[in-house]
Amino acid sequence: MAKKIIAVTPLWDDEKESIWMLPGYMNGIRAAGAIPVMLPLHSGIEDAAEVFEMCDGLLLTGGHDVSPSLYNEEKKDACGAVCEARDTIELALYKKALERNKPVLGICRGIQLINVIQGGTLYQDLPTETLSETEHHMSPPYTDIAHYVNINRESALYDLIGTERLGVNSYHHQAIKTLGENLEAMAWSDDGLAEAVRHREKSFVWAFQWHPEFDFESNPVSRRIFDAFVNA
């Protein structure tokens, strides 16, 4: 049986004006038995979409903040750098994935972008917009536990991992504020933030605020997430 091919959205380096990639995304997909392919960023939506047509699934990676303009807000001072090229390409590819019913996995920025495309909003900056004492922006090593999440027993995530309480790594300053349409929260942090979501009407559109790509080699839960994505 031929291996599945997974399209992976690239990260962008503003200083070097260059696309780049964290190896964990690619290696997590390889470990699950698929072939990762990094998509182009600046060659236009049509070219990226043509490459995506050859792929079986889409991985939306972390990186720049999602532009507040996508959820009809002005950019606040505490909001980080945005990348309009990523917003444009990833929005188009996500919608194409939904049309084709291709599996989607979103990580960090990925969960935030999915939520926004589905009509939700974000906290532009957790430290200045909330009173949370939960550690959401940890220091290395990113294989450690930053905080815990509570998993809905009725969710597909619980069916996959079989636990209601899970320690996760965390490296973000934006997060879901209002949940997007047709999204179901599968896990929450102790301060009430949605940490894992799925699309109710699609076979596999899952997204996580934490980072399974950093610890899939040592963490069986992270490995199962990649396996479930590729198997879908």
217 in active site: no
Q: What angle do CA 117, 19, 217 make, to 5 degrees?
A: 80
Kindly give the residue spans of alpha helices, DSSP state H, lying in 58-108: 84-100
Of 171, 183, 231, nearest in space to 207 by CA:
183
What's phi and psi for 38, nearest 5 deg? Answer: -80, 130
Of 181, 159, 180, 178, nearest in space to 225 by CA:
159
Catalytic residue among 79, 108, 136, 147: 108
Q: What angle do CA 86, 94, 193 make, to 5 degrees?
A: 85
Q: What distances in angstroms separate CA 9 from CA 110, 137, 167, 201, one per listed residue?
A: 10, 22, 27, 23
What's phi and psi for 173, nearest 5 deg? Answer: -125, -5
Look up residue 36 and give its two tokens. 């990762």
211 in active site: yes
164 in active site: no
In the block, which residue shows the tokens 């935030």?
112
Cα–Cα distance for residue pair 232/230, rounded to 1 Å: 5
> Known catalytic residues?
108, 211, 213
